[in-house]
């Protein structure tokens, strides 16, 4: 099962649309995960239409229309992998322990908010992933998203993709 992970898309405030390379990954993926800060409903509609399966939550920049359609925390089981998706996890210091306590029945936690890619594992085995932002790199050298594979109850092949903007 192929996954594409994104967060902090901020469409249309930071970009008019998702980058073409990310749309290609969305269309090839079995599951698309979005960890909030959509900003406007049309991107949610487009991802729902173009994804085989969408697992998503709202973020702090998402208003009432998005919050009416998305949970604060999304959960799913993917071939035995217990996934949770949330926008904010707080400061980076102590994140693994804090999230392991907050999500004890979770194997993989996808989060956003910082626009900073993250891939660590808590001592409990909880994998924490932040795909960064494909549209607003902030202080990062590149805009980013992630892909991964789930098979036989295991997450593997997590890859961070740089978004290269063409002039």
Domain layout of the chain by residue ranges? 2-163
**Bridge partner residues of 130 (DSSP):** 118
Hey, which CATH number is domain 2-163, 3.60.21.10, 3.30.70.1450, 3.90.1150.10, 3.90.1640.10?
3.60.21.10
Q: At what angle do helices 20-28 and 41-50 cross, to 10 degrees?
A: 40
Average pLDDT over residues 134-152: 94
Q: What is the pTM of this model?
A: 0.96
104, 108, 114, 120: CA torsion to nearest 10: 90
Rg of the chain's alpha carbons, rounded to an integer? Answer: 15
Go through 123-149 and write b for each residue having 16 or more CB atoms within 10 A of its CB, e for each that does not. eeebbbbbbbbbbbbeeeeebbbbbbe
Residue 77's pLDDT band (cuts 50, 70, 90): very high
């Amino acid at each position: 099962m192929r996954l594409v992970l994104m967060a902090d898309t901020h469409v249309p405030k930071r970009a008019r649309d998702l980058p073409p390379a990310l749309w290609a990954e969305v269309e090839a993926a079995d599951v698309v995960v979005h960890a909030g800060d959509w900003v406007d409903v049309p991107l949610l509609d487009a991802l729902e239409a173009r994804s085989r399966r969408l697992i998503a939550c709202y973020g702090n920049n998402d208003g009432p229309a998005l919050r009416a359609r998305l949970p604060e925390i999304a959960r799913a089981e993917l071939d035995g992998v217990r996934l949770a998706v949330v926008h904010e996890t707080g400061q980076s210091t102590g994140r693994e322990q804090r999230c392991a306590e907050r999500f004890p029945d979770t194997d993989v936690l996808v989060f956003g908010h910082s626009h900073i890619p993250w891939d660590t594992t808590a001592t409990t085995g909880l994998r924490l992933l932040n795909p960064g932002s494909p549209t607003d790199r902030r202080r990062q050298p590149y805009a980013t998203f992630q892909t991964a594979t789930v098979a036989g109850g295991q997450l593997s092949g997590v890859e961070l993709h740089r978004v290269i903007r063409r002039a």
